[in-house]
Amino acid sequence: MQPPNRQPLGFWTVRAGEAIRARTRGALEDMGVRQPEWWVLHQLSTAPDGLGTDYLVEKLGPNDTPEAIEDALGTVVEHGWATRDGNSLTLTDSGATVFAAAADLQTELQRERMQGITEEEFVTTITVLQRTIANVGGHAWHW
């Protein structure tokens, strides 16, 4: 294998994204939650008075597709994790319980990903990726 300074950044970012996504999605699915549903539950957990569905689709859509988010909105209601009042969703007690368990899992997954990586290395990596995206004319953000 070539030394790191001669390897393509795009290749490694795609492979890292695929590996992280597969691990995260698999672990969440093992507890009965799809990743888009986790994103919805996470957002609802920050808003005791609920959030509008249009807001949720706009905010979360870039993480997957707007259709995946719309599907997740329906699923969280079907599972009783949220209630719908017109165009607003509010987290239920059941949803808060599922969110808390999934949040604990996310914390464990982050610990797993960070094995052998210092916080400084992590921050440098994120900063370099953000700068790389900007350098090629891209735009990305994360809530």
For the record, the structure tokens of 12 come out as 């490694």
Q: Which domains does the chain have, with CATH numbers?
A: 14-116 (1.10.10.10)
Give pLDDT tens digits for 74-96. Answer: 999 999 999 999 999 999 999 99
Greatest distance between any 2 Cα atoms in the chain:
57
Reported pTM: 0.88
Give pLDDT tens digits for 19-32. Answer: 999 999 999 999 99
Lookup result for tokens 């900007």 = 134
Which band of pLDDT confidence, cut at 50, 70 and 90, is reported for residue 2? confident
Per-residue pLDDT, 7: 87
For the record, the structure tokens of 139 come out as 């735009």
Q: Is the pLDDT of residue 1 over 90?
A: no
For the record, the structure tokens of 120 come out as 């400084």
